[in-house]
């Protein structure tokens, strides 16, 4: 059982922060099925590479995505292991919470 005084790890905090932005969620949705080049992400999202670069940096720092360079292009893919970390963090609340939702009348 999780101690109430224990703070979540920096990686958990940065992961939830990364998930808090609509554009970053769109990036993750696009990466759901395959690795994508940054140029294709820019086209699909109709944003400039400089704007997207900031959001990709947040996603990389939170380890939600991986980057691989090939020539002059960078390809991004999901890091599913980090999604598991966030899921497990949330699952602790579902499994061990003594507070149950109120019944609907």
pLDDT of the residue at 93? 75
Residue-range domain boundaries for the chain: 10-90
For the entire predicted model, the pTM comes to 0.81
Q: What is the pLDDT of residues 24-53, one digit of tens each?
A: 999 999 999 999 999 999 999 999 999 999
Instruction: Calculate the average pLDDT of the chain.
Output: 88
- Let me know if 10 is exposed, middle or buried by CB neighbors in 10 A (0-12, 13-18, 19+): exposed
Q: What is the pLDDT of residues 68-89, one digit of tens each?
A: 999 999 999 999 999 999 999 9
CATH number of 10-90: 1.10.10.10
pLDDT of the residue at 5? 45
32 vs 36, 65, 77, 104, CA distance in Å? Answer: 10, 11, 8, 35
**In whole angstroms, what is the distance from residue 10 CA to residue 47 CA?**
29
């Amino acid at each position: 059982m999780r101690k109430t005084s224990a703070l979540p790890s920096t990686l958990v905090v940065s992961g939830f922060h990364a998930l808090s932005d609509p554009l970053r969620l769109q990036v993750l949705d696009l990466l759901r099925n395959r690795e994508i080049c940054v140029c294709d992400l820019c086209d699909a999202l109709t944003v400039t590479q400089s704007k997207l670069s900031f959001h990709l940096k947040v996603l990389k720092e939170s380890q939600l995505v991986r980057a691989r360079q090939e020539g002059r292009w960078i390809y991004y893919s999901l890091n599913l292991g980090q999604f598991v970390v966030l899921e497990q963090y949330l699952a602790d609340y579902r499994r061990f919470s003594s507070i149950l939702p109120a019944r609907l009348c």
